[in-house]
Amino acid sequence: MLVGAAFVAGFVDAIAGGGGLITVPALLLAGVPPVSAIATNKLQGTFGVASSTLTFWRAGRLEPALVLPLFGASFIGGVIGALIAHLAPSAVLRMAIPVILIAIALYVLASPKLGDQDAKPRMGILAFTLSFGLGIGIYDGLFGPGAGTFYLIGLILVCGLGMIRAIAHTKLMNFASNLGALIFFALAGHILVPLGLAMGAAAAAGAWLGARTTLRFGGTLVRPLVVVVSIAMALRLLLDPTHPVGIWVRTWLG
């Protein structure tokens, strides 16, 4: 079950982000403790984004001038996020993230040509890496769901990258922040290594297929998946048994 979930998550994550929406609940349903579920998900997820990043690199979609700054900022952010996870204002994050995800979905629906072509950047690459790159990296190490989608929208709206350029560099940034958080969790001993490696192999295969699918179909596939994944992640977070909205819904339903 977990290996199959990892394959599907790798495929979806390579296109629109949000693979953790599938794998983290699957790990929890299998009886894995929450901290170990998050840590093990980082291990398998790193395989997936590494596979899709390599696919885009081989296709010539990663630009050498952007690789180091985007990777560096996201990696450092992932390490910082994992280190301060126990200090995170989780209640604030849990309330805010679903709203942001729904806003992203509505924006993409209202902008059918979003990312069709490169646009004039609103921010230089250095400023982007020190703000969005580092900030989303910290979020990815600290919390996780939606990080790939946030990277993607940031690269399109702030840096002016077209859809395929943005997706390729999103995978690079997602790989970097995953790797940074993974190092912390490995040192802390939270990862179930055999399980994570088995899921990672499946995630890598799914991510390869997802990246190839993206290169073939482009934005016509990505935009609807971004909408679906964003709404699904928002609902998953809102209806979590420990989320205030989830508690309210269960109380209302009796």
Domain ranges of the chain: 2-253
Q: What span, in angstroms and rounded, lies between the C-alpha atoms of 8 and 48?
A: 10
Q: What span, in angstroms and rounded, lies between the C-alpha atoms of 169 and 59?
A: 13
Write down the pTM of the prediction. 0.80
218 SS3 class: coil
Q: What is the pLDDT of residues 53-80, one digit of tens each?
A: 999 999 999 999 999 999 999 999 999 9
Is residue 152 within 8 Å of 105, Cβ to Cβ? no
**What number of other Cβ atoms are within 10 A of residue 129's Cβ?**
25
Q: What span, in angstroms and rounded, lies between the C-alpha atoms of 233 and 143?
A: 13
Is residue 43 within 8 Å of 4, Cβ to Cβ? no
Q: What is the pLDDT of residues 115-141, one digit of tens each?
A: 566 778 889 889 999 999 999 999 888
Closest-CA residue to 74 (of 185, 177, 180): 177
Q: Cα-atom radius of gyration of the chain, to the nearest Å? A: 17
At 143, the pLDDT band (50, 70, 90 cuts) reads: confident
